[in-house]
């Protein structure tokens, strides 16, 4: 690290806690960034990386996409923030979302995925009059107190009481129940323990916050059946899967329609925008429609966010762009290539993912739920990603975190990264670095 980066980092650490504005931005030592364009990011020292982190998946078309930036520029030339009534941009964005997402009859806008899930949980409780929420071990739904527990838990805390932060009231933690993904029995047991008390079941239909646990169709259909029988709302948190894997989110792929859907991140290609959609009956419980569930937010539906969302969705819909064919093809190329390299080097690995997302699990056997992820070689995962960064492919070096491919990536990018991975994995295998598992397994 040169003096340029070091000076900026030291300045940040004096006036920002840890030098970063989100804990996950501090990896090993903080990094200082200068620019981002297309599929690349450049640090303050001038080193260029092919970006597979993509701001935790918020970048879908590539950094600084001109179509999105131009739309935002045009919008804010006319209007910024009035804070009363509505605008044409808000209506157009809402209509695009209603047209795209199967569960959407009405839509609200928020600024972040955490706000969207917060609104979904409050709406579920306000609609049903019930206190409990059921989530799944390994799924992350933002920093909101009711959901901030049991994400990447250690073996001794998995499925137990594992809040993500201090400062959360015990009542908030204890009114969220934890089940195992792809295990309907664990869900049914919690409903039996809390009859007529569970307001909502919330899940990432593909739990991307622990890589890419692929859902079994019978599991998703079972959740839909159980929640309908129990009078409980089913919430798909598609903040990551929404728009990335299909225009209508994963629910379009699986054919299971939830009651509520949260979305965000990639919908604005890096601009802050998210939201919540659902049936008109449920969404009408918000106070603007005469209901009792408060809806507020000064920046909800602001011009730049709406313009970014409209422009991004229009690109995704453009048959000449053919976004999904492009990223699925490159994603398949990356997954097949990494699996072949691992197999050739005798490395126990499961390279999985869907569409533009890929993840290397370093373990043997099947991967169905979080219980299987406790066998993952976390240290090998982090080491692989750190060494890939050194080679010029930026992959977030924290175990179980996913990698993303954007519209801006090319076959040449994938092939170059695979060549780097062949060097890295070969060296790691030679050094005997694929032998450890998590303590306690």
pLDDT average, residue stretch 362-369: 93
Q: What is the mean pLDDT of residues 324-330?
A: 98
What pLDDT shows up at residue 436? 43
pLDDT of residue 30: 72
For the chain, counts of helices (H) and of strands (E): 15, 14
**The two three-digit tokens of residue 276, written as one number:** 């919540």
Express each pLDDT in 244-285 by its tens digit.
Answer: 999 999 999 999 999 999 999 889 999 999 999 999 999 999
Q: Is 202 a residue whose pLDDT tops 60?
A: yes
Domain 66-317 part of CATH 3.40.640.10: yes
Please name the residues in contact with 392: beta carbons below 8 A apart, sequence gap of 6 or more: 47, 48, 49, 50, 420
Write down the domain spans for the chain: 32-64+322-430, 66-317
Inter-helix orientation angle 411-430/378-391, to 10°:
130
- Tell me how many degrees the CA angle 381-331-258 measures, rounded to the nearest 5: 95
pLDDT for 26 beyond 80? no
Sign of torsion over alpha carbons 78, 80, 84, 87: positive
Task: Give the pLDDT of residue 158.
Answer: 86
Which residues have CB under 8 Å from 358's CB, separation 6+? 212, 331, 334, 335, 338, 351, 352, 402, 403, 405
The pLDDT value recorded for residue 424 is 98
Q: Which residue has the higher pLDDT, 17 or 107?
A: 107
Instruction: Give CA–CA dist 115/231, Å, rounded.
Output: 24
Please say if the pLDDT value at position 24 is more than 80: no
Q: pLDDT tens across 379-412, in order? A: 999 999 999 999 999 999 988 999 999 999 999 9
CATH of range 32-64+322-430; options 3.90.1150.10, 2.30.110.10, 3.40.50.1580, 3.40.140.10 = 3.90.1150.10
Please say if the pLDDT value at position 75 is more than 90.
yes
pLDDT at 271: 96
Per-residue model confidence (pLDDT) at position 52: 98
pLDDT-derived band of residue 102, with 50, 70 and 90 as boundaries? very high
Instruction: Using the predicted structure, report yes or no on whether residue 198 has a pLDDT greater than 90.
Output: yes
- What's the whole-number mean pLDDT along residues 48-64? 97
pLDDT of residue 435: 67
Residue 149 has pLDDT above 90, yes or no: no
Is pLDDT larger for residue 265 or for residue 69? 69
Q: Model confidence at 36, in pLDDT bands (50, 70, 90)? A: very high
Radius of gyration in angstroms for the set of CA atoms belonging to the chain, rounded to a whole number: 22
Q: What does the pLDDT look like over 328-354, one tens digit per residue?
A: 999 999 999 999 999 999 999 999 999
> What is the mean predicted confidence (pLDDT) over 113-129?
96
**pLDDT band for position 232 (cuts 50, 70, 90):** very high
Question: How far apart (Å, rounded) are the C-alpha atoms in residues 245 and 251?
Answer: 10
Quote the percentage of the chain above a pLDDT of 90: 81
Q: Is the model's pLDDT at 93 over the cut of 90?
A: yes
Residues in a beta bridge with 360: 351
Q: What pLDDT is recorded for position 165? A: 81
The predicted pLDDT at position 438 comes to 38
How confident is the model at residue 377, as a pLDDT? 94
> What is the reported pLDDT for 437?
39
Task: Categorize the per-residue pLDDT at 61 as very low, low, confident or very high, splitting at 50, 70 and 90.
Answer: very high
C-beta neighbour count of 15 within 10 angstroms: 7
For the chain, the average pLDDT equals 93
> Using one digit for the tens of pLDDT, what is the confidence trace for 165-179?
889 899 999 999 999
Output 153 or 360, whichever has higher pLDDT: 360
Q: pTM of the predicted model, to two decimals?
A: 0.94
């Amino acid at each position: 690290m040169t003096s340029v980066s070091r000076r900026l980092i030291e300045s940040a650490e004096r006036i920002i806690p840890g030098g970063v504005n989100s804990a996950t931005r501090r990896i090993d030592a903080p990094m200082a960034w200068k620019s981002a364009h297309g599929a690349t990011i450049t640090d303050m020292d001038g080193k260029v990386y092919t970006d597979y982190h993509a701001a935790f998946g918020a970048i879908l078309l590539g950094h600084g996409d001109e179509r999105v930036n131009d739309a935002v520029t045009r919008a804010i030339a006319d209007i910024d923030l009035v804070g009363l009534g509505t605008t044409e941009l808000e209506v157009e964005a809402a209509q695009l979302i209603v047209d795209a997402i199967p569960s959407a009859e009405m839509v609200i806008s928020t600024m972040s995925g955490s706000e969207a899930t917060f609104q979904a949980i409050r709406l579920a409780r306000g609609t049903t009059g019930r206190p409990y929420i059921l989530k799944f071990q390994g799924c992350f739904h933002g920093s909101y107190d009711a959901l901030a527990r049991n994400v990447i838990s250690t073996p001794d805390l998995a499925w137990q009481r594992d809040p993500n932060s201090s400062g959360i009231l015990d009542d908030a933690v204890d009114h969220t129940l934890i089940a195992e993904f792809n295990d309907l029995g664990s869900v049914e047991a919690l409903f039996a323990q809390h009859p007529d008390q569970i307001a909502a079941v919330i899940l990432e239909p593909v739990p991307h916050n622990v890589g890419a646990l692929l859902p079994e169709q019978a599991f998703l259909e079972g959740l839909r059946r159980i929640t309908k029988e129990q009078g409980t709302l089913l919430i798909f948190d598609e903040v990551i899967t929404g728009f990335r894997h299909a225009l209508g989110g994963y629910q379009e792929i699986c054919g299971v329609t939830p009651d509520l859907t949260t979305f965000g991140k990639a919908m604005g290609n890096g601009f802050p925008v998210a939201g919540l959609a659902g049936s008109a009956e449920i969404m009408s419980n918000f106070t603007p429609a005469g209901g009792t569930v408060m809806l507020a937010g000064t920046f909800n539906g602001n011009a730049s966010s709406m313009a970014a969302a409209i422009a991004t969705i229009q690109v995704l819909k453009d048959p000449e762009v053919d976004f999904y064919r492009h990223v699925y093809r490159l994603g398949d190329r990356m997954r097949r290539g990494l699996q072949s390299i691992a197999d050739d080097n005798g490395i126990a690995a499961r390279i999985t993912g869907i569409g533009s997302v890929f993840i290397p699990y370093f373990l043997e056997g099947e991967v169905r739920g979080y219980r299987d992820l406790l066998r993952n070689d976390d240290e090998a995962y982090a080491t692989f990603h750190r060494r890939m960064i050194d080679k010029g492919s930026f992959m977030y070096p924290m175990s179980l975190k996913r990698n993303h491919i954007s519209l801006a990536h090319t076959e040449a990018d994938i092939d170059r990264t695979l060549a780097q991975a062949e060097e890295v994995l070969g060296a790691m295998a030679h050094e005997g670095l694929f032998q450890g598992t998590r303590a306690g397994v």
